[in-house]
Each structure stands twice: as structure tokens, then as C-alpha cells.
Amino acid sequence: MTVITWTDDRVEQLKKLWEGGLSASQIAAELGNVTRNAVIGKVHRLGLSGRAKSPSSAAPRPRKPRPAQQMVRMPRPIARGNTALAHNYEVEMEPDPISVDNVIPISQRLQLVELNDATCHWPVGDPASADFYFCGGKSVAGAPYCAHHSRIAYQPASDRRRAAPKPVR
């Protein structure tokens, strides 16, 4: 497939047709092998964008944040109640800096069924283990964790720039 670019010939024809008042799509059809987007893009690059264009088109466009598909950024896929890990390797959860996990009073510890909006959902220990439990502390408003654990759970971790693969468009 011959992929021809903008040869002098085609550019000249483009200019002629454009200034002739033809629309971008018409020009694209005339030239062939190009889309009207390509034509418009080229026209702009050539600097002959302003024809007798509509003033409305020159309307001040503030800026487009262009989130494309807005992607919901979760704080972190922290281990929720039960991920049913078949594997046995060390659960790499954020190690508690102050090691509160070991200090949570047994009386406060909860089983899954005991959790509610007011209790901290922070899992402690191996979910597959019998001594697994949830923190059970007092949940902070808007968070499923107590003040201490929500601080851990919602830590920024890392801001990645644009790691969007986007192989096909």
C-alpha cells in the first residue's frame, strides 16, 4: 500500500481547492487517500486556515481538559475483606508503620459479618486463617476505615504520569 504524503503537487492542489471555497471533505475526496481531518490539519499547518470562515468558529475556546475517557483513579486496590488468595506468599499489604495491628484489642476485633458502616474494615492477618479479623475500630466519616487505617489506605502511593497503553484506536 503506497502511503503517499503531502507532495508539493498535492499541497498545491490543496491550496487551490481550499481557496476555491471547497470544503475539507470535498478536497479530501478530490485528492483521495486522505481524510478531511488530514486536509484540515494540513491546511492549518500551512497557515491558510482563515478563509472567509465563520466568526463563530474563531470563538475563544478556553481549553479542553480532554480527559478522553475519564478514568476513575482508585486510591489503591487494597486488600478488601476477602480476596481468597489461593497462594500462600506473604500478603504484601502496607505494613503498619506503628504496628497497630498487633495492638488492636481483641475485644474490638471483628469478623466479616460483624462489620458495618461504623466499623473499620481493615483486614488483619491471613484471610484464610482462622485468626483473621478486621480492625473494628471506629470508622472515619466517608471511609471504611478508622482514622489510623484510612490514613494508610488512602496514601498516594504513586502518581503515574500517563501509562495508558492504548494499543488500538
Of the chain, the end-to-end C-alpha distance in Å amounts to: 20
Instruction: Rule CB under 7 A: say whether 162 interacts with DNA.
Output: yes
Contacts of residue 117, Cβ cutoff 8 Å, sequence gap at least 6:
139, 144
Q: Which of 119, 74, 70, 33 is nearest to 13 (CA)?
A: 33
**The binder of DNA chosen from 19, 20, 30, 50 (CB under 7 A):** 50
Q: How far is the CB of 16 from DNA (least distance, A)?
A: 14
Instruction: Rule CB under 7 A: say whether 61 interacts with DNA.
Output: yes
Instruction: Rule CB under 7 A: say whether 12 interacts with DNA.
Output: no
Complex with DNA: residue 87 or 169, whichever CB lies closer: 169
**The binder of DNA chosen from 59, 71, 74, 130 (CB under 7 A):** 59
**The binder of DNA chosen from 2, 8, 32, 53 (CB under 7 A):** 53
CB atoms within 10 A of CB 90: 7
By three-state DSSP, how is residue 68 classified? coil
Can you tell me the distance from the alpha carbon of 1 to that of 132, in angstroms, rounded to the nearest whole number?
Answer: 63
Cell numbers representing residue 14 in the block: 490543496
**Span 17-46, contacts to DNA by CB under 7 A:** 22-26, 34-38, 40-45
Residue ranges that bind DNA, judged by CB under 7 A: 5-6, 22-26, 34-38, 40-45, 49-51, 53-54, 56-59, 61, 63-64, 66, 68-69, 162, 166, 169
